[in-house]
Structure 1
Amino acid sequence: MVLQQAPARPHSETPDRGVLNRGRPQQAGPSRLRALDGLRLLAALSVAVYHYLAYEGAAPAWGQAPSSLFPQWSGAAAYGWLGVEVFFVISGFVICMSCWGRSLGDFFRSRVTRLYPAYWAAVVLTTVVVTVTPAIGQDIPFTDVLVNLTMLQDAVGADRVDGVYWTLWVELRFYLLFALLVWGGLTFRRVLAFSLIWTVVAALARTADSELLTLVAMPKYAPYFLVGIGIYLVHRFGDHLLSWLVIGVNAILSYHYAVLRMDHQAEDVVHQPLSRLIVGLVLFGGIALVAAIARGHLGWVRWRWVSYAGALTYPFYLLHDYIGFALINWLYDRVGVSAYAVLPVTVTAMLVLAWLVHRLAEKPLARWLKVRLTSGAMTLDPRDLLSRRRPVPAATPDAATPGAQAAGPGRSRDEVTIARK
């Protein structure tokens, strides 16, 4: 789960004429969708509370099942995993927003500079903590740690440094799929067609018995991203029947897959019964909040600290799990701090650590990467890659007209593009 801070709502365009020039960034409005940043942080906190108070994997940290320590809180915290589903909805909205009117190269650079700096810091810090406190998490081979630095550990079957990294593989596949759309240029009709086709293909992938199709179409997660994309179409172009069709159908499918995951959570993870009604209320409530923010109903949320807190969401999510468990174990088991005091102390400490990573690692590394990726000669323009002009051959002295100079080789489209840049 990886998200950018949300820019303001752009000027409206009609669906039929919603084509922006490729490579030209859209005009930003006077304010940001700050409430979306706040919702991101709320979703991250819900996941952290779920891990600390309900997740059975936290038992080594507490020395016993967290549900036995927090019988009053564990039941509510057991629904915190739905924060990931809400993250995916927000991701569909924000990625669509941030890529509109931009080139594939812009998309590539923004994803690299957003994803990797905080992630590299988290991998290093978590590896150190797990090595020092082997009871927390698992001690994985050094080669797998190196693979984790690429963020492709799930693709090649390597162990994850931290269990929460599973969402990054989902996000990466979404980015790669959406990059195909960015490559051709985003318009209302193209994004709508993409959304309708992906909805159908993801639904069919469940019965197609094809690992490759399932890997690409992501039937269990596609509905969340598609809800976010549909909400963005409404945000940018206003109410349109097909946009709402994308939202409605995929909201229903999202609930279907959330219930399936609920059954797994109840039986194998939190070991307590969960309610389909509560799952629906939390999921549809999160979707409704994203839609309300997109339609401007929460525009009164303008505090700067909300956006700054939202910037800490990604590093907080990456750091809170195994490092948080190690801190819980030290505070509760060794120092003897009350269990009810350990929770706020741990959450606060993880937020402070996220802030340090954001200031000392994420921002400097992102600037460094942006400069070097921007100075490169690769434009990632499909017209440059697929429509190269053949060089004009140099004229030989025998074929040259008397008095004429020999023609030099022609310049390819790649060379022209690079020269202009």
Structure 2
Amino acid sequence: MSSITSASDDRQIAVHASDRTTAPEAPAPVKRPRLYVLDGLRLIAALGVVMWHWVGVERFPAVWHGKPSELMPTAHLVGAYSWTGVELFFLISGFVICMSCWGRSVGDFVTSRVVRLFPAYWVCVLATAACLLVVPTIWGDNTHRPTLSRILTNLSMVNMPLGVDNLDPVYWTLWAELRFYLLFGIMVAIGLTYRRVLAFCGIWGVFALLAAQVNIPLLTAIVQPVYAWYFIAGIAIFLMYRFGANLLLWGIVGFCWLMAQDSLRGVVGGYEYGAEHRLSWSLTLACTTIAFAVVIAAALGVFDRIQWKWLTVAGALTYPVYLLHQEIGWQLITRIRPHLDPYPTLAVVTAVMLFAAYLVHRLVERPLAPLMKRKMDASFAQVRADEAPGGARRRKG
């Protein structure tokens, strides 16, 4: 999820970049300090999803050797609603992707997403596959053991449209993010301006409304009528951050909130299936509203004084924690739980996951991302050179 992914360097460039592509009608850009708080919010969102899978889900009592609601009533109450961290992820993603793309080329956009998403993803897919292949599953059968083909297809990150199950169920948000990148990448190719981004938000919203009424699977797949409102709201909130708030932007964000609360009616049922009890729509709406509020507050400068650089490290852990925590985390819990009480088990497994995430960041992302970026930048530079008049002939000569 790119809210799931970090864009710290991209944000730093984008905030201070000159607005070469902004239309004359756009408000003047407002210089803002770097938003370290977004990294902290991303980690909070990730830990919320972790809590949902570890203590909110009741369908797999073998994980805890009992039901979390009985072993940890308070933690289960929190976990039963902390899946709303996904909505916070998507809001931040809309904000950060728009910010990191402003004034940059399609090649820059593609490069930034590939080098940020894939190195950690490949390692985490292989680690999860090894876990599912080597360790007996908690369900006591072999139905969850992946085939080689399934592993290889998962490495592409586009297994879902091919009908191949995710190795870890949490990967579903990555497919949602990729579809958002596809749509926004078209806008990057056209050129980002204040007016064009506003038009993009409006057009996407209209098609999201239409997709909810017509039975066209391709349209639904592209515009994501359930989650589109979080991405659109995040984009509009970034425009508040860059150009200042106005009635039009408040209207877009408010409309997205209205649509989001409506879509919750259909979403909550799926989470009730996992929690095995009714969930309060009011509490769910409150969590979603808080997600909107904190991102808006960050954009309007409420958290500008928070300049803690360690939040960058915290944000860097978000993506690998998210990728690793469910299947591998369940395996750790079910083996540690017989030796520790529930809450100490939760603390130990959380610490292990955070440490594993740090290793992935330090040993995989940090060395591989710059290398991949140099190679991809060189490739796009060659494409541009070949497209220049006489470029291909010069290279042959």
Normalization by structure 2: what TM-score? 0.90
Check the 8 A contact 2:30/2:244 in 1, yes or no.
no
CA deviation vs aligned residue, 1:223-255 (integer Å, no higher than 9, x gap): 010010010111111123322222111111111
Q: 3-state DSSP class of the match of 1:62?
A: coil
| Pairs within 5 Å for 1:311-330 | 311-330=316-335
Check the 8 A contact 1:12/1:237 in 2, yes or no.
no
CA distance in 2, matches of 1:293, 1:278: 23
1:274/1:307 CA distance change after superposition, 3 Å: same
State the partner residue of 1:252.
258
AA in 2 matched with 1:314: Y
Return the match for 2:66 from 53, 64, 67: 64
Check the 8 A contact 2:48/2:82 in 1, yes or no.
yes
1:85 equivalent in alignment to 2:102: no
Return the match for 1:284 from 273, 289, 307: 289
| Pairs within 5 Å for 1:174-253 | 174-253=180-259
State the partner residue of 2:343.
340
CA distance in 2, matches of 1:82, 1:371: 37
AA in 2 matched with 1:349: V
1:411 equivalent in alignment to 2:390: yes
CA RMSD of aligned residues (A): 2.6
Return the match for 2:356 from 353, 357, 373: 353
CA deviation vs aligned residue, 1:322-347 (integer Å, no higher than 9, x gap): 111111011013xx111111001111
CA distance in 2, matches of 1:380, 1:166: 33
Check the 8 A contact 1:85/1:224 in 2, yes or no.
yes
1:17 equivalent in alignment to 2:24: yes
State the partner residue of 2:132.
130
Q: CA deviation at 1:30?
A: 8.1
CA distance in 2, matches of 1:28, 1:331: 51
CA distance in 1, matches of 2:263, 2:304: 31
Q: 3-state DSSP class of the match of 2:291?
A: helix
CA deviation vs aligned residue, 1:304-359 (integer Å, no higher than 9, x gap): 111111111001100111111111011013xx111111001111110000000101
Q: CA deviation at 1:37?
A: 0.6
Check the 8 A contact 1:86/1:287 in 2, yes or no.
yes
Which protein, 1 or 2, shows the higher relative CO under an 8 Å CA cutoff with sep ≥ 6? 2
Check the 8 A contact 2:7/2:100 in 1, yes or no.
no
Q: 3-state DSSP class of the match of 1:60?
A: coil
State the partner residue of 2:114.
112
Which of structures 1 and 2 has the bigger CA Rg? 1
AA in 2 matched with 1:116: F
Q: CA deviation at 1:295?
A: 1.3
CA distance in 2, matches of 1:30, 1:255: 30
CA distance in 1, matches of 2:242, 2:148: 46
Check the 8 A contact 1:61/1:326 in 2, yes or no.
yes
State the partner residue of 1:331.
336
CA deviation vs aligned residue, 1:364-405 (integer Å, no higher than 9, x gap): 121221111111146777xx99xx79xxxxxxxxxxxxxxxx
Give ranges in structure 2 of 5+ residues lacking alignment.
none
Check the 8 A contact 1:164/1:321 in 2, yes or no.
yes
AA in 2 matched with 1:288: A
Report the count of equivalent residues. 384
Return the match for 1:261 from 267, 280, 293: 267
AA in 1 matched with 2:255: V
Normalization by structure 1: what TM-score? 0.85
Q: CA deviation at 1:12?
A: 9.2
Q: 3-state DSSP class of the match of 2:256?
A: helix
Identity %: 41
1:377/1:287 CA distance change after superposition, 3 Å: closer
State the partner residue of 1:171.
177
State the partner residue of 1:96.
98
CA distance in 2, matches of 1:380, 1:165: 32
CA deviation vs aligned residue, 1:66-106 (integer Å, no higher than 9, x gap): 22222232122100110001100000000000000000000
Q: 3-state DSSP class of the match of 2:62?
A: helix
Moved over 3 A (4+): 8-16, 27-31, 377-381
CA deviation vs aligned residue, 1:252-277 (integer Å, no higher than 9, x gap): 111111232112212x1101221121
Q: 3-state DSSP class of the match of 1:297?
A: coil
State the partner residue of 2:310.
305
Check the 8 A contact 2:92/2:234 in 1, yes or no.
yes
Return the match for 1:148 from 154, 158, 169: 154
